[in-house]
């Protein structure tokens, strides 16, 4: 596994050189079994939502207007590939975003 990791790093560094990108060695941490990146935990052969981010979503206050609801739905949809039939679960909330929605949102 370590050799495979080394080979993958060599390939990444080769592409970095090819495209003339700069990498700061002080900011590089190599040979980690997993890393948190853009709200996900990336491991050897998988990616999963960061538990801290999911906990934060669960603690969010209820939306009181369309703007905050739109923001909430965008955040939840970011993790949509991990939730079976998410669109069906969110359908009642999507209705609240329709123009002329007769439902009043209260805090």
When the pLDDT of each residue in the chain is averaged and rounded to a whole number, the result is 90
Q: Angle 77-73-36 (CA atoms, 0-180°, nearest 5)?
A: 50
How far is 43 from 78, CA to CA, in rounded Å? 19
- Pairing, β 40-43 against β 34-37: antiparallel
How far is 69 from 8, CA to CA, in rounded Å? 41
Q: Where are the domains positioned within the chain? A: 52-99
Cβ–Cβ < 8 Å for 40, 49: yes
pLDDT computed for residue 107 by the predictor: 57
How far is 83 from 87, CA to CA, in rounded Å? 9
20-51 pLDDT per residue, tens: 999 999 998 888 899 999 999 999 889 999 99
């Amino acid at each position: 596994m370590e050799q495979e990791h080394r080979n993958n790093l060599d390939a990444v560094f080769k592409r970095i050189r090819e495209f003339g990108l700069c990498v700061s060695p002080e900011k590089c941490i190599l040979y980690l079994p997993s890393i948190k990146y853009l709200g996900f935990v990336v491991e050897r052969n998988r990616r999963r939502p960061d538990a801290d981010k999911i906990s934060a979503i669960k603690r969010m206050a209820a939306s009181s207007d369309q703007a905050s609801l739109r923001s909430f739905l965008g955040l939840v949809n970011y993790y949509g590939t991990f939730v079976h039939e998410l669109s069906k679960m969110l359908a009642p909330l999507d209705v609240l975003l329709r123009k002329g929605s007769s439902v009043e949102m209260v805090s």
